[in-house]
Chains A and B, each alone.
Chain A
Amino acid sequence: MKNVYFDNNATTAVAPEVIEAMAPYFKDQWGNPSSMHAFGGGVKKGIDEARQKVAELIHADPSEILFTSCGTESDNTAIRGGTEAVSDRLNLITTRVEHPAVLGPCRYLGERGHRVFEINVDASGQVDIVQLGAALRDGPALVSIMWANNETGVIFPIPEIAAMVKAAGGVMHTDAVQAVGKIPIDVRKVPVDMLSLSGHKLHAPKGIGVLYVRKGTRLQPFMLGGHQEDNRRGGTENVPYIVGLGCAAELAQRHMADEINTVAALRDRLEAGLLAVCPDSRVNGDRAHRLPNTTNISFEYIEGESILYMMSDVGIAASSGSACTSGSLEPSHVLRAMGVPFTAVHGSVRFSLSRYTTAEDVDYAVKQLPPIIAKLRAISPFVKK
């Protein structure tokens, strides 16, 4: 059976080059980088090189790169560590469409005396800049707003938002987990103080993340009890994974200029193909400001989990914002915040591509989807005859 993977915003295949780069750090270079003997020396060099490569991908200084265990740890460190570093109560400003890794710590701090503002988005998923401006005038703030949305791929105007936050004297964090490696990011030009990224979204393995921390940013370490990462993150370094992420960052930088066009062309072909052959379907989110690899399509009158299972039966992998697939009973908070009707939320499917997606994959999906949609609609009581 064919195996077609359209779920790259959930996780990506580890690049073969990355596996190769990591291998020596399991076999020979297994020393502790902190050790004062030869076993640690080469290992330290591997970490330094990886730090350099990750820094280059976002145009940061290597000293501003903090390795963590995942994107969620990076977000928690930025939000909780950034809040704890100042003695005053802060306003925490975020949006209604953030990843739970951001909403979770914000709401946690909200229960402990900080005020939390969750900024609205419009029907296209774009953040309400006016509301953000008003919240910024309310007092000292730590702002955490994502660079690109995981469900819709919608890109927020982070350069503009970060400038607003800095002008208001706030601290700016962005969860760029979905953006890094897919679109150019340059922290020399965009005044974010902190930025989260995750290895497994850009063809490195799961279990490695980064928090970029601009020089001079006040941050209380989240993981205490170790001198590693310049006393900012305790714990012996996850050396093979750090090396793997370095390699993945290098690959992303090398391929990005091409991939922005090739992947976007495949995505557009998939999107146009599906909309043409599946009646009563619609795209969710701002198509003009969107990651090149993502499309979120709602198929009316039918439910996402059923669609995914039937797609899986023919070897196609994607994900859905339906309640049944979220592990809770509530459908996607992102699509609901955009005001997408319940009918369309439950039947939403996210297709996310990667550098490994082929035109053949896309055409296969365009051919396989219509009978699935038709079969489920034949069962549905809501289809108007």
Chain B
Amino acid sequence: MWDYTGKVMDHFRNPRNVGVIENPDGVGEVGSLACGDALKLMFKLGPDGRVSDVKFQTFGCASAIASSSALTEMIKGMTLDEAAKVTNQDIAEFLGGLPEQKMHCSVMGREALEAAIDNYRLGRTDKKILSGKVVCNCFGVTEEEITRVVRENGLSTVDQVTNYTKAGGGCGKCKGDIELIVGKIVKERLEAELKAGRQAAPRKMTVIEKIRLIEQTIEREIRPLLKRDGGDIELIDVDGNRVKVALRGMCAGCQVSSLTLKDLVGVKLKEFVSSDLTVEEVRE
């Protein structure tokens, strides 16, 4: 059995706001029988512009029903601007968390809400329109949707994308495409993180922070490149701005190891940590 929280089981056993609204202001429908889950969400606005009534119908597992029920409780009384800001993480948090493999249930909730708001604002009555390139044909998931979920949830692997959007969970042919999308976003994220770290660095970086950043840079930027050629690198010591490293594997004793140090290790550390650093090779 899944490790569902008490709150998930409560909303599954006693779902709130089940049913339909006559003449709703907005209706959103996502998912399908073929996909294994589907959600129809509808709301009515009060004179104050806040959600006065909301109802849902769900076909799906316990966490899909619980996510839908939770969503209706969350948005009742909200303005549409407030409701539009509800993320799938908010839904999962409201329920005390969802198993990783079930996160797609919370994403379905957010998508249905978005579709219902679009329906109200733009008068769209169709089901979710697939905008942009479809990446996963089995479950009809677009690049735009994957990108959004990866960004909003800080995902970094293809398996996570499958757990959150179902993309890649059918025939699996699109896993390569998903990897490219995830890779791009992870790279952007790392660059932003490192940039933030670098900008804050000059005055505030402590010795410990500097060593950590050096380690991080070696791990993310340098080691993968060396490993490609069967080599490796080990951080031996940091003495002020002198970084002492040892080259391992194929790199040890390599004719061009001095070039490796200067052009790769030195350049990367200067770029990502501090331009004051110098690199020395320790030979044992």
Binding site for B on A (CB under 8 A): 301-306, 309-310, 312-313, 322-325, 327-331, 342-343, 346, 378-382
CB distance from B282 to the nearest CB of A (A): 43
Q: Tell whether, in the assembled complex, residue B40 and residue A305 are in contact, meaning their CB atoms are under 8 Å apart.
A: no
Find chain B residues with CB under 8 A from A328 CB.
Answer: 169
Tell me the residues in window 240-263 of chain B with beta carbons closer than 8 Å to chain A beta carbons: none
Write the nearest CB–CB distance from B14 to chain A, whole angstroms. 10
- Picked from A301, A310, A331, the residue with its CB within 8 Å of the CB of B59 is A301
Contact (Cβ within 8 A) B60 A342: no
* 5 A-B pairs with least C-beta separation: A329-B169, A305-B61, A381-B57, A324-B61, A381-B40
B166: which A residues are within 8 A, CB to CB?
Answer: 329
Query: What's the Cα separation between A301 and B38 when bound, in Å?
Result: 11
B29 on interface, CB distance cutoff 8 Å = yes
If A303-B37, A324-B36, A343-B33 touch, whether A379 touches B65 (CB-CB below 8 Å) is: yes
Decide yes or no: A329 and B57 within 8 Å by CB, A381-B40, A382-B38 being known contacts. Answer: no
B12 in contact (CB, < 8 A):
yes
- The smallest beta-carbon distance between A363 and chain B, in angstroms, is 24
Asked, given contacts A380-B57, A381-B40, whether A306 binds B13 with beta carbons under 8 Å apart, the answer is no
Question: Are A322 and B59 also in contact (CB < 8 A) when A306-B12, A329-B139 are?
Answer: no
Interface check B170, CB cutoff 8 A = yes
Q: Which residues of chain B are near A325, meaning CB under 8 Å?
A: 61
Chain A, Cβ-Cβ closest to B57: A381
B38:A330 contact, CB within 8 angstroms: no
Q: By the criterion CB–CB under 8 Å, are B36 and A322 in contact? A: yes
Chain B residues with CB below 8 A from A322, complex form = 36, 61
* Cβ contacts under 8 Å, B15 to chain A: 379
Q: Does B67 contact A (CB under 8 A)?
A: no
Q: A303-B37, A309-B9 are in contact. List 7 more A-B contacts (CB 8 A).
A: A306-B12, A324-B37, A330-B170, A342-B33, A379-B65, A381-B57, A382-B59
CA gap between A303 and B59 in the complex, in Å: 6
Instruction: Give bound CA distance, A185 to B33, whole Å.
Output: 40
B62/A346 in contact, CB under 8 A: no
CA of A302 to CA of B38, assembled, Å:
10
Q: Which residues of B contact A378 (CB under 8 A)?
A: 18
12 inter-chain pairs at a CB distance below 8 angstroms, sorted by A residue, are A303-B36, A309-B12, A312-B1, A324-B36, A329-B169, A342-B34, A346-B59, A379-B15, A379-B57, A379-B58, A380-B59, A381-B39
Structural contact, A303 and B61, CB atoms closer than 8 A:
yes
> CB distance A381 to B58 under 8 Å?
yes
B119 interface residue (CB < 8 Å to A) = no
B217 part of interface (Cβ distance < 8 Å): no
Cβ contacts under 8 Å, B33 to chain A: 342-343, 346, 382
Q: How far is the CB of A309 from chain B (nearest CB, A)?
A: 5
List residues 18-67 of chain B with CB under 8 A from any CB of chain A: 18, 29, 33-34, 36-40, 57-62, 64-65
**CA A306 – CA B13 in complex, angstroms?**
10
Which residue of A has the minimal Cβ distance to B4?
Answer: A309
In the assembled complex, the Cα of A48 lies from the Cα of B59 at a distance in Å of 54
Known: A381-B40, A382-B38. A302 touches B61 (CB 8 A): no
Task: Select which of A313, A329, A330 is within 8 A of B13 by beta carbon.
Answer: A313
Q: With a CB–CB cut-off of 8 A, which chain B residues contact A305?
A: 61-62
- Give A275 to B9 CA distance when docked, in angstroms: 28
Q: Does B87 contact A (CB under 8 A)?
A: no
- Asked if B160 is at the interface (CB within 8 A of a chain A CB), the reply is no
Residues on A with C-beta less than 8 A from B58 are 379-381
Q: Known A322-B36, A324-B36, A329-B36; judge A306-B162 contact (CB<8 A).
A: no
A342 to B59, CA, bound (A): 13
In the complex, chain B residues whose CB is within 8 Å of the CB of A379: 15, 18, 57-59, 65
Q: Find out whether the CB atom of B139 lies under 8 angstroms from the CB atom of A324.
A: no
Is residue B101 contacting chain A, with contact meaning CB distance below 8 A? yes
Q: Provided the pairs A313-B13, A378-B18, A379-B18 are in contact, do residues A306 and B60 lie with their beta carbons within 8 angstroms?
A: yes
Tell me the complex Cα distance, A274–B169, Å: 33
A342 CA / B139 CA spacing, docked (Å): 13
Per the bound structure, the CA–CA distance linking A280 and B65 in Å amounts to 21
B101 touches A327 (CB 8 A): yes
Q: In the assembled complex, which residues on chain B have CB atoms less than 8 Å from the CB atom of A313?
A: 13
Give CA–CA (A380, B39) in the complex, Å.
8
Q: Give the nearest-CB partner of B18 in chain A.
A: A379
Whole-angstrom distance between the Cβ of B270 and the nearest chain A Cβ: 45
Select which of B36, B60, B65 is within 8 A of A331 by beta carbon.
Answer: B36
**CB distance B36 to A381 under 8 Å?**
no
Q: Which of B40, B60, B162 touches A303 (beta carbons < 8 Å)?
A: B60
Complex contact A346–B101 (CB within 8 A): no
Task: Determine the distance from Cα of A124 to Cα of B212 in the docked complex, in whole angstroms.
Answer: 62
- Neighbouring B residues of A304 by C-beta, 8 Å: 61
Closest-CB distance, B21 to chain A (whole angstroms):
13
A380 CA to B61 CA, complexed, in Å:
11
Do A329 and B170 form a contact, CB below 8 Å, given A313-B13, A346-B33, A381-B40? yes
B36 contacts A346, CB within 8 Å?
yes
Tell me the complex Cα distance, A324–B169, Å.
Answer: 12
